[in-house]
Structures are given as C-alpha cells and as structure tokens.
Amino acid sequence: MHRHLRRLGGLLLLAFGLLVAVGPAGAQPPAPDPRFGAIENFWVPEASRELGVGFERILFYWREIQPTGPDDWNTLHVLEEWLVEADAQGQNVVGLLKNTPAWATDFNVDSGVPRGLWLPIDDPENLWAEYVRKIARYYGPRGVHHWIIWNEPEIERGVFGFEFGGSPRDYARLLKVASLVMKAEDPDAVIHLAGLTWWHNPAYLEELLDTISRDPEAAAHDFYFDTLSLHIYFRVETVREIVEEVATIQARFGLNKPIWINETNASPNLDPEWPVSRPQFQVDLEQQANYIIQAYALGFSSGASHIAVYKLLDINLPPGG
C-alpha cells in the first residue's frame, strides 16, 4: 500500500478508535461505522474495508452520464463494480449530482442553470427533472439512495472552486425539483443539501433557507432536503464554530436536520515525498495528524452526525499539485 495511504489510514484508525472500541491486533476488520466516511473509497477497497469506513461519496457528473443529449446513458462513468463492492462491505454510497452538460443549459457548461428548470417536474423540457428521474430509476435499485444536490453553490463566479452559476433562488428550485422527483421515484431517497464551504459566503445558508421558507409548499415537503452538508478545512478551531452556527441558523426556521461534515482535512504541503506549492496553510505531516484527530472529536462533540475525510487517496496529481 502506498506510504501516503498507509499513513492516512493510520490517522483515520486512530480518530475512529477514539470514539469506538478497537479490537485486538490481528482481529477481523472492524464493522463499518455509518458515521465515518472517506471520499472515493472505490480506488482502494481493501484499505476501506480495513478502516471500517461506513460511507463514501461518489461524483455523478451529468455531463459524463449524458454527454451529448438526453438519450445518452453512460454507465461507465460510475462503475457498477464500485457499488457492488460498497454493498458487500456494508458501506453507504452517497452520490453527488452536478455538472451541467452543454446541451442542457443556455449558460456555461458544468456550472450553468439547467434549461427548463422552472417548468413543471413532469414536463419533458425540464431537463434536470428528467435526468434526476433517470438517475433514481437506475441507481436506486443498485443501492444508491443518498444524493447530494450540487456542490458549493455559494462560491461566486470568478473565484476558484466556482461550480454553480445560479442565484440562491435558482439553487432552491434545483433542490426542490431534485427532491420531489427523487422521492417520488425512490421512497428510500435521502436528499443532502449541497456541501457548503461556509467562509466563501457565511450568509448563504440563511438566505437559501429564507428563500425556501417563502415557498408555500416547502413546509409540507420538509424544506426539500434531509441533511445539511459542510466542507471544513485546515483551521480545526472553526469546526465547532461552524457546526454550532449552522445548527443555530436552521433552528431559526424550525429545522433540526442532521449535519454532515462530508469533507475535511488539512492536506500537507510539507511532505518530503510529495511537496506541494501552496502560498497559504503550510502543513506538515504531524500537523495533518493532529488536525484529523481533533476535527473528528470536535465535529462529533459539536453535533455533527457524520464526518468524512477528503479524500482517501489522491490520484493523477501533477508534481507540486
């Protein structure tokens, strides 16, 4: 196993061991704990099994699944063997839906608001609704019931990490359509709000919830989502601050949704075997180790229900990347 993977695996075992009983040396791998996640486990299933990871996140890029039109259906983008392996290990797969194909938007590929988004969800011209319906019908029977709707929509155009070109109102509609369609097709569906970075726009969540609250149908559908998602990096002291603030914000709207930290890490750039050029957040291996343990402890003690490290293995990185 690669040195970096062995080391990160050891950190996760230590973090998990602080919160659950660890068996004796030589014992069978621990049973998966649903609270603990590691992103993209499918690259290294043996390591995932040894760690007792309970969930993984897999990206479902719309532009890859339907690259040229609504009749496309590329099942090689997310390999079925990944889903079979996750099921065999007792792991929950959380799919992330994002990236608009060029044919489905009048705006930019990947970040553009889907064409027909404001049409009724049973209108074939509502391209997002049609896509989500196909996703639910195909992947629900294959064991995927948790769906994150897009990623980091609060990052503004022109800023690194920009992924969604719509307003909070547009995202609220994107969420509503996905939720109504997915739950109509799959009674076991769990809808996750897009992962938020928080610091790019701390006011975004409250603005979004306020927008949803003005929808007369929102209360009957529990605000169209089941879980809040957070991405927290580098500054371990912010874990408690952000989780508690998010809980306070949702409480203003009468909500008490589970909070998942589905991305966290302090990735090292001062690694002798893989140095990375980065002007901010100088992190060595010991600091990463400290961060992982502290972030998990602070996250759970602050009320987060699930936490995942991003990610279990880096692949295809350029030198210095």
The per-residue pLDDT for range 223-253, each reduced to its tens digit, is 999 999 999 999 999 999 999 999 999 999 9
| pLDDT at site 182 | 99
Kindly report the CATH number assigned to the domain that includes residue 230. Answer: 3.20.20.80
320 within some domain? no
Q: What rounded mean pLDDT belongs to the chain?
A: 91
> What is the pLDDT, as a whole number, of residue 308?
96
Sheet with 53-61: list strands edge to edge.
Answer: 190-192, 146-149, 92-98, 53-61, 33-38, 306-309, 259-265, 228-233
- Number of folded domains in the chain? 1
Q: Quick one: pLDDT at residue 1?
A: 40
Looking only at the bridges linking them, the beta strands covering 146-149 and 190-192 are parallel
Asked if the structure places residue 319 within a domain, the reply is no
pLDDT score, position 312: 79
- The residue range of the domain holding 91 is 3-15+31-309
Would residue 315 count as lying in a domain? no
Residues 250-277: what's their mean pLDDT?
90
> Cα–Cα distance between 276 and 267 in angstroms, integer?
10
The set of residues, in sequence order, having a beta carbon less than 8 Å from that of 241 and lying 6+ positions away, is none
In a domain, 134, yes or no: yes
Angle between helices 3-17 and 285-302 (to 10 degrees): 30
Does residue 22 sit within a domain?
no
Q: pLDDT tens digit string along 97-144? A: 999 999 999 999 999 999 999 999 999 999 999 999 999 999 999 999
- Average pLDDT over every residue of 52-75: 97
The answer to whether position 317 is within a domain reads: no
Residue 76 forms part of a structural domain: yes
Spatial separation of the C-alpha atoms in residues 197 and 151, rounded to whole Å: 9
pLDDT tens readout for residues 205-228: 999 999 999 999 999 999 999 999
- One-letter identity of residue 297: A
Does some domain include residue 314? no
Q: Which residue has the higher pLDDT, 27 or 161?
A: 161
**Whether pLDDT at 6 is above 70:** no
